[in-house]
Amino acid sequence: MTMDHSLALAILLVAMCPQIESGTEGEDNGSDIDIREALNTSEPLWLFWQSDRNSFSVCSGDDCINETETCIRNVMIDISSEDCYFNQVMLMNGLPYTAAYIGKFNDGKTPPKSMEVTEVGDSFSTDSGSGVHQLWVLQYLEPKDRRCMVFFIQELEDLNICQMYIKGEPQPSDPPTGCETFFKARCNKTQIYEPYSMTCK
């Protein structure tokens, strides 16, 4: 994927997403957010709120089963100025499941605020970028302690979504006020899905 294509995807993400609303309250000015700063941690990033459902149906013919993803967190494996490797760990219907991903910081911005994310081992992944299936754009990073962040995520064959992550173990008072205000102002505030619970470990 070319740099121009990546930038075009980022613009499309903000301009056309039906679930992400325009507004100024809590809006990111884009001048000082570095996605590497948000991701560069040995602590898990817990998916706290999301604008899309964390449950779905998997069907084979007329037979369908419901899958529910909970206790989702990203665990950083390695990060450099150009890319990062991380595992996404979750419970799928109560059973542990892990997938490995690579994120490439190639949006042409200084500092970078987005990454193209591909699953490691994806048979469609090539140097041309044809395997990229998500664009993660960091739109909010809690100014005070940098422990809460909101990403706009564009899935190439699906609706755009918002995801809020908490760095380290979430507290009963979470999310922080700034993070909550931004999410409710800019994302789908009619329904917030919460894959995290205090029983997650």
Q: Is this model's pTM higher than 0.85 or not?
A: no
Say which residue the tokens 């507290």 belong to: 171
Per-residue confidence (pLDDT) for residue 61, from 0 to 100: 86
| Residue 86: predicted pLDDT | 98
pLDDT tens-digit series, residues 14-48:
333 444 444 444 445 455 799 999 999 999 999 99
Cis upstream peptide for 112 (omega within 30°)? no
Beta bridge partners of 84: 79, 103
Long-range contacts of 105-111 (CB under 8 A, 24+ apart): 105/35, 105/36, 105/81, 106/3, 106/6, 106/82, 107/3, 107/6, 107/7, 107/10, 108/3, 108/6, 108/7, 111/33, 111/34, 111/35, 111/36, 111/37
User: What are φ and ψ of residue 9, in 5° steps?
Assistant: -65, -40
Residues near 24 by beta carbon (within 8 Å), at least 6 away in sequence: none
Say if CB 160 and CB 20 are below 8 A apart: yes
Span 69-92, pLDDT tens digits: 999 999 999 999 999 999 999 999
Amino acid residing at 201: K
Instruction: State the CATH class of domain 3-55+63-186.
Output: mainly beta
Residue 71 near residue 195 (C-beta atoms within 8 A): yes
In the chain, the percentage of residues whose pLDDT exceeds 90 is 63
Q: What is the pLDDT of residues 58-67, one digit of tens each?
A: 888 888 889 9
pLDDT, residue 81, reads: 95
- How do residues 97-133 score in pLDDT, each as one tens digit? 999 999 999 888 899 999 999 999 754 444 444 444 8
Contact 111, 34 (CB under 8 A): yes
Instruction: Evaluate whether 174 touches 168 at the Cβ level (below 8 Å).
Output: no
> Cα–Cα distance between 55 and 116 in angstroms, integer?
24
Residue range 11-22, pLDDT digits in tens: 333 333 444 444
pLDDT tens for residues 145-192?
A: 999 999 999 986 667 899 999 999 999 999 999 999 999 999 977 789
Every domain of the chain and the residues it spans: 3-55+63-186
Task: Give the 3-state secondary structure of residue 143.
Answer: coil
